[in-house]
Amino acid sequence: MVDDNKTNNDINCNNNSNNNFNSNNNIDEKKEAAKLEEHQHVEHEDIISPELEALLHTDPRKGLTTAEINERQTTFGMNELPEQKTNPLLKFLRYFTGPMSYLIEMACILSALVSDWLDFGLILTLLLVNAGIGYGEERKAESALAALRQTLALKTRCWRDGKLQEIDVRELVPGDVVVLRIGDIIPADARLLGLGVNGEQSEAELQIDQSALTGESLPVVKTKGSTAYSSSIVKQGQQLAVVTKTGTQTFIGRAASLIAITAEQGHFQKVINKIANVLVVTTVLLVGIVLAYQMIKYQGTPQGDWKVVIKNCLVLTVAAIPVGLPTVMSVTMAVGAKQLSKKQVIVKRLTAIEELASVSVLCSDKTGTLTLNELTFDEPYLSPGYTSDDILLYSYLAAEPGANDPIESAVRRAAETTLDVLQKREDSHSVPGYKVTAFQPFNPVTKMTQATILDLKADQHFRVAKGAPQVIIELVGGNDDAVNAVNALARRGLRALGVAKSIPNDPEKYELVGMISLLDPPRTDSAETIRDCNKMGVEVKMITGDQHIIAKEVAGRMGMSRVILDANHLVDPTKSEDEVTEHCRRADGFAQVIPEHKYRVVELLQNKGLLVGMTGDGVNDAPALKKADVGIAVSGCTDAARSAADIVLLAPGLSTIIDGVRVSRSIFQRLRSYALYRITSTIHFLMFMFVVTLVEDWNMPAILLIMICVLNDAATLVISVDNTQISSKPDKWRIGQLLTLSTILSIFLAGLSFAHFYVARDIFHVTPHELNSIMYLHISSAPHFTIFSTRLPGFWWENMPHWIFFICVIGTQILALLFSVYGVFGEAHEVAPCGWSWGLAVLGVSFVYFMILDVVKVYVLRIWSFGLTATLFPTPGRRAKLASIIQETKEKEHSDKLWNKLAIHVVAHELECGLRQ
């Protein structure tokens, strides 16, 4: 990073310590005259087709004609990003789709047909509440494409028909000649012509800030023939440029296209759909059999009327299907979103909370996310006799006040926060004890700034020069130690800036003060955040558009390994998809990437079955943020990144992500707890009611079934405040395990239900209406108490439930106890009082039974594995997956051995490089 913002991508020896480059620590180099190393700035190359190239040779003094402009607008379209708006009504209606929703909606329609308005109102309310919560949370999000449009300039100056005109940016076409000046937002991808505004030859360079596009921390120097990208900002200089690409063909347009095609179904929704499919198919099958049985058995009787039969089956369906499942999960996640908002984490998509708990890889942008996105004074190289305060003072005296330059800003900021002499001054434009009598601002030809200073105390004048290292070293007559220091800084990706001061009584002779080193440093909390993520089983990968050596230096400072690969590894035609994927999995990050590369990294990791989080702040991050399972926009991000993300951090840095992961994992446990409970109770209910209806021709009164549905789901809404055990590694939905465990618990519950039924009827000979009350209390309480067990993977006493949750669950069952004991609904609904002895006995058995089921749950979870499932219930798909897992395990073990051997060689190589330096 010596001059022209150039870096070296090929140096593998990096110094990870903050060296003090003073005279006591000279770098051992050959004694021959040292030379500054040339460092190539690696940048994405814009590919221009021969057909397009032929249109770019416009006369820069005349520009295009009106006829040419009209023809090219017809061919290439307008210079704008296409807008796609979603109808708010259609967006709201999407929340009523899916297998579970369709079954519930069908039940709602059938309720209206048979005039069962109680069921109709209940089902419709649940549907609207669930859709309202989801729509209300997500309507806050703005379109990512609209945000990208806001980053584009609105007007630009352009040569057309021999005149310099101001036109709307959207009217630009390839071949237009535009004027680029300091402060301009570049209106389209354009090639610099090396000409001034009036067509005169110009060797002036342009400094362009394209950090929001590429992630580069330093302004990039562009010269004749270089491409300036749309929506980047001119920081210094002016030139004419010919437009090469417009609209969706530009660098930013391709990013917009990636966002537009990324509209996949979320991970959580896929899980819920899998669960719903199983429950819906089971419910429809069993209720369909009951429907056919009753229609045939009661044919020709009042009980066989289709309305009566449908009403009976409808009540059975409503009680069986988990109509409250979407609502309970939405409320739980909404409560979690409120908890996260207090920690300055804003959730735009509710299901992202659950998905964050399962993220095992976090891909992070560097510039502005892991780093401050501002140049900062680092450890300088100092000539003998000078200190850090000296070099800061002289740099400040030669700094141009108010200059819109990141290097000048970094120097002034460091001096103002470090030097005592600048702390308590009355005039912010002066330095106590010194007076600037002459000032020459930065000259792009001489590459330095000069100032003449009067030392008020000594009444002597001296001059200070500050600029490119090679210029300052030449100014002082050469200095091998300084050359070696600059080379060492450049190998680590640090930007060097030379400072020299004239000697007393000879203003034309200079001596070297030292070399300032500048770097966009990691945030103070980045290293700790990465360590915390690793402790929680989340691997952090740094993905940046910045230069390779800068990425390695920053990674080292944050305590990450230095296995940072350049983007060529992602598009290497000699490697297979599996090999590239393995690179992604193994590497600690990638450098010199463009938006397509970031998108590809996320996609490859997802194809490997990993849940991927992505953090970023720039336009270049937006496609990957949208593609990731959880996109996280950091504080100070662009509108494009904020709109593409699922979660927005308001506090600087990534430290709040740790809070987000902890909260999301606690919410995940609540969701899994409720899902296990609800699936268990549904399968149990269907299993018992199906058999008892066909074998004993027994039906529970509709009012009692509805009360079970209403009370139990209402009580479980407060699971959102329950205590949980936070997992030390990413959570994962194991659908096979969930359904297997649910089925086993359901069988145990069904056995208890049949025991209650036959003991009460055949041994104690209770009346049919008393039997209804007894079975209502049992079916209400036994599955419901199971939630005390399902809320934890371990034994229920390892983490006691929250008192609010406990009171609500117990309270609903006490209410059910009173309904049964006193037969509240009366003989008209076929309900009779069962008495306190039966009521307390049933409730007591249910409470004790959940503890027995808890032991069953713990041991099932201990012995369960996918291998066991594939062995007990073999299918071609399961056998193939098991074989793939075994093969991947062997390959991983072999690969780990190879990488460990390689790591030893890398450490030895870096140690050797360090000793040489």
Catalytic positions are 365
What is the C-alpha separation between 521 and 367, in angstroms, rounded? 9
Q: Would you tell me how many other CB atoms lie within 10 Å of the CB of residue 521?
A: 20
Q: Output the CA–CA distances (angstroms, integers) from residue 72 to 188, 325, 411, in the order listed.
A: 15, 56, 47
Do residues 231 and 619 lie in contact, with contact meaning Cβ atoms separated by under 8 Å? Answer: yes
- Short-list 885, 528, 534, 896, CA closest to 729: 534
In angstroms, rounded to a whole number, what is the distance separating the alpha carbons of residues 161 and 664?
A: 60
The token pair that represents 252 in the structure block: 């930013």
Cβ–Cβ < 8 Å for 461, 507: yes
Determine the straight-line distance between the first and last CA of the chain, rounded to whole angstroms. 18
Length of the chain: 917
Token digits for 660? 């987000």
Nearest to 178 by CA among 148, 149, 157, 155: 157
The tokens describing 411, both together, are 């120097």
User: What CA–CA distance (Å, rounded) separates 158 from 400?
Assistant: 31
Measured distance CA(291)–CA(132) in Å, rounded: 33
DSSP secondary structure letters along 826-886: -GGGT----HHHHHHHHHHHHHHHHHHHHHHHHHHHHH--HHHHHHHS--HHHHHHHHHHH
371, 521 Cβ separation under 8 angstroms? yes
Per the CB < 8 A criterion, the answer to whether 515 and 381 are in contact is yes
Can you tell me the distance from the alpha carbon of 905 to that of 908, in angstroms, rounded to the nearest whole number?
5
SS3 241: strand
Answer whether 503's CB lies under 8 Å from 511's CB: yes
DSSP secondary structure string for all residues of 19-84: --BSGGG-----SSPP-PPP-PPP-PPPP--HHHHTT----TTT-B-HHHHHHHHHHH--SSPPP-
For residues 77 and 171, what is the distance between their CA atoms, to the nearest angstrom?
A: 9
Instruction: Provide CB contacts within 8 A for 567, sequence distance 6+.
Output: 590, 591, 592, 593, 594, 597
Contact status, residue 780 vs residue 749, Cβ threshold 8 Å: no
